[in-house]
Amino acid sequence: MQQKLQRKVVNSMVALLWANKIIALEKTFSDVPAGLKKQVAKELKLAGCEELITEEKYK
């Protein structure tokens, strides 16, 4: 149970790192691994940067 929670926290932190890289224009949304795209899109929306989400199904 604790490992599952830790994994979820780590995934959230990684998604936030990806979102920050995209906002800084160092990476693009298409560079994000498939398993993180949903979370990264959520972080970009929270940051008011929805225009950086380049795949329609995540907008």
Q: At residue 53, what are phi and psi to the nearest 5 degrees?
A: -85, 110
Neighbours of 43 (CB within 10 A): 19
**What tens digit of pLDDT does each residue of 9-44 get?**
899 999 999 999 999 999 999 999 999 999 999 999
**pTM to 2 decimal places:** 0.89
Task: Report the first-to-last Cα separation within the chain, whole angstroms.
Answer: 32
Which stretches of 1-59 are DSSP H helices? 2-23, 37-46
What is the predicted pLDDT for the residue at 1? 74
Q: pLDDT grade, residue 2 (50/70/90)?
A: confident
State the Cα–Cα distance between residues 56 and 59, nearest whole angstrom.
5
Q: Are 53 and 44 in contact (CB under 8 A)?
A: yes
